[in-house]
């Protein structure tokens, strides 16, 4: 969900940053916030879409970074491995400029639970 603060309540610095930055990440203390090419904030469990049309689910690492699953999807499908078992590929700034949020976590979970019987992962 994208939270929008009315412009009249934003500082001049926030307004200028909003105009310049859409994709990227912002460090706020120990928390890193990620944004796609449209400026939508990305979270653990969201489904993203690359310019090529390929989709991926985002996972949160124990270091607080977002990334995509490095495990062979065929192994997951056949039960040979669990999602994230072979690690995650951290999102890069270049990827953030290319990707767009396709489905927020809640919609992705509903779709995944009903079609695959899988209800999530441990973070």
- Banded model confidence at residue 26, pLDDT cuts 50, 70, 90: confident
Higher pLDDT, 110 or 73: 73
Residue-wise pLDDT tens digits, 46-64: 999 999 999 999 999 888 8
Please give the pLDDT value at position 68.
95
Are 72 and 86 within 8 A, CB to CB? yes
* pLDDT score at 47: 95
> Can you give the pLDDT at residue 61?
87
Residues 6+ apart with CB under 8 A from 72: 81, 86
Q: Among candidates 55, 19, 35, which has minimal Cα distance to 96?
A: 35
* DSSP class of 7: G
Q: Would you say the pTM of this structure is higher than 0.95?
A: no
pLDDT band at 109 (very low <50, low <70, confident <90, very high): low
Mean pLDDT of 17-46: 83
Give the start-to-end residue ranges of the domains of the chain. Answer: 7-116
Helix (H, G, I), strand (E, B) or coil at 31: strand
């Amino acid at each position: 969900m994208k939270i929008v603060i009315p412009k009249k309540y934003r500082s001049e610095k926030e307004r200028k940053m909003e105009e310049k930055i859409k994709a990227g990440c912002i460090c706020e203390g120990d928390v890193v916030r990620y944004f796609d090419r449209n400026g939508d904030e990305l979270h653990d469990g969201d489904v993203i879409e690359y310019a090529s049309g390929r989709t991926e689910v985002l996972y949160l690492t124990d270091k607080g970074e977002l990334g995509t699953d490095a495990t062979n999807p065929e192994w997951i499908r056949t039960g040979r491995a669990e999602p994230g078992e072979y690690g995650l590929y951290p999102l890069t700034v270049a990827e953030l400029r290319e990707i767009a949020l396709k489905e927020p976590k809640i919609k992705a979970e509903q779709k995944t639970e009903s079609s695959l019987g899988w209800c999530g992962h441990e973070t």
